[in-house]
Amino acid sequence: MANHLRIELEKLKTNLLSLSSEVERALNKAVLSVRNSDTELAKEVLAADHVIDQHEVEVEEQCLAILALHQPVAKDLRFVIAVLKINNDLERIGDLAVNISERTIFLKKQPPIEIPFDFVNMSQKAVTMLKKSLDAFINMDLRLAHKVWESDDEIDEMNRQVYDKVYSTIKSHPNQVEALIHYLSISRHLERIGDYATNICEDVIYMAEGKIVRHTPEGA
Amino acid sequence: MANHLRIELEKLKTNLLSLSSEVERALNKAVLSVRNSDTELAKEVLAADHVIDQHEVEVEEQCLAILALHQPVAKDLRFVIAVLKINNDLERIGDLAVNISERTIFLKKQPPIEIPFDFVNMSQKAVTMLKKSLDAFINMDLRLAHKVWESDDEIDEMNRQVYDKVYSTIKSHPNQVEALIHYLSISRHLERIGDYATNICEDVIYMAEGKIVRHTPEGA
């Protein structure tokens, strides 16, 4: 029985990693679609979202089957619950990649304007946070999980600065309001991806230490 | 053993309901703070958020203890997993009540402007969706769960209309941009509360029918 459980947990991990690759791919494409005003790429993200949705349902059903059939305890139980939560968050990151891609499609219909913030820097930050949070999960790397968790402040601050920049740009160019608010949404979506990566790190910490760190001050 | 499980599941339900009351109270206060520009009320929401956070951690620990000690299967297992997810969503609704309250505090510092949408109507819609989704959970009322789930489109559409209104108002009054974008955020937060209420209904449907309805077209 214990061996069967081991095999099932290994399969579950592989399945979650395959979902995370799909989500990372969607996010990379969404970011690139903004950079290059590439609506074809944006449409690819929209078209592939149902694969991520379906995959999330499968991982959840796999978790429930393991709980029902193998009744894991202690560390194994915490692992399954962490996978349930990470799975949920990955699907929501997939939705944000869709939202970003929809902005690309909308923006293409507007007169082009300069992106009102350092998009390359901020999007790289979000992509890196997601990648590192998943690496922390794969390698059960607690040091990395804590590091990503503590770095969430940086992307929050970037997003705050985008608000200020958008306010002042709208005042001088009120006719650009639609495009500017869409770029503001993109910044907000990137910031929320940072939040989800932070959640994933919290789940990794919980899984490894059995300690719930969320709702405690970052870096405390 | 089965009787112990029954008692523990009943306690879990009571605990989740107590959390949901706290979250409903926070949301009602947040909405009222916007309506009356009442920063004192807004600050009460901010000050009470740690109670919700702590409560969420307790419910999650209770779920894990039940899974580890009683190893529920079938309907009972689905119930515990649904509580885990509803718990998570309630805490996030609590965060949105905080975000709305923060906007009240910010808006109080700005020259007052008219709210650029029917706030009473939209906020009542969000509050009602949350209330009904929790009623559906308490009474395991599938008809109600499906009804709330199908009504999410309405609040989405309201939010889309707010965007259009804000664009046109900013063009005629660019100096009101900060206040207008804060009202836009409030509308978006209300729309996301509708999404979370929809998620709760999906969990109720899953719990009762064992059927995962999310990612299928609403009303299908």
Predicted structure pTM score: 0.93
Interface check for A154 against chain B (CB to CB < 8 A): the answer is no
Give CA angle at B96 (B166, B86), nearest 5°: 130
3-state secondary structure chain B: CHHHHHHHHHHHHHHHHHHHHHHHHHHHHHHHHHHCCCHHHHHHHHHHHHHHHHHHHHHHHHHHHHHHHHCCCHHHHHHHHHHHHHHHHHHHHHHHHHHHHHHHHHHHCCCCCCCCCCHHHHHHHHHHHHHHHHHHHHCCCHHHHHHHHHCHHHHHHHHHHHHHHHHHHHHHCHHHHHHHHHHHHHHHHHHHHHHHHHHHHHHHHHHHHCCCCCCCCCCC
Distance CA B213, CA B7 (A): 29
Question: What pLDDT shows up at residue A206?
Answer: 85
Burial of A139 (0-12, 13-18, 19+ CB in 10 A): exposed
Q: By CA distance, what is B79's nearest residue in A?
A: A64
B147-178 in b/e form (b: 16+ CB < 10 A) is ebbebbeebeebbeebbebbbebbeeebebbb
Virtual torsion, Cα A55, A59, A64, A66, nearest 10 deg: 140
Between B50, B64, B71, which is nearest A71 by CB? B71
Q: A10 is written with which tokens?
A: 């290994």
Interface check for A53 against chain B (CB to CB < 8 A): the answer is yes
- Tens-place pLDDT, residues B151-178: 999 999 999 999 999 999 999 999 999 9
Q: Top-level CATH class of A2-209? A: mainly alpha
Pinpoint the alpha helices (H) of chain A.
2-35, 39-70, 74-108, 119-138, 142-150, 152-172, 177-209
Chain B residues touching A181 at Cβ < 8 A:
163, 166-167, 181, 184
Mean pLDDT by 10 residues, chain A (220 residues): 89 97 98 98 98 95 95 93 95 97 97 95 97 94 94 96 97 96 98 96 87 62
Question: What pLDDT shows up at residue A132?
Answer: 97
Chain B residues touching A84 at Cβ < 8 A:
81, 84
Which one of A62, A170, A182, A212 would you mutate to disrupt binding with B, by most B Cβ within 10 Å of its Cβ? A170
Contact A181 B174 (CB under 8 A): no
CA A116 to chain centre: 23
Percent of chain B with pLDDT over 90: 90
Under-70 pLDDT residues of chain B: 1, 211-212, 217-220
Distance CA B55, CA B133 (A): 20
Question: What pLDDT shows up at residue B83?
Answer: 95
Question: What pLDDT shows up at residue B207?
Answer: 85
Q: B147 is written with which tokens?
A: 């009804």
Interface check for A78 against chain B (CB to CB < 8 A): the answer is yes
Which one of B88, B168, B181 would you mutate to disrupt binding with A, by most A Cβ within 10 Å of its Cβ? B181
Chain A residues touching B61 at Cβ < 8 A:
212
Domain ranges of chain A: 2-209
Chain A residues touching B171 at Cβ < 8 A:
174-175, 177
Distance CA A156, CA A165 (A): 15
Chain A residues touching B214 at Cβ < 8 A:
53, 57
Q: Are B82 and B204 in contact (CB under 8 A)?
A: yes
Interface check for B178 against chain A (CB to CB < 8 A): the answer is yes
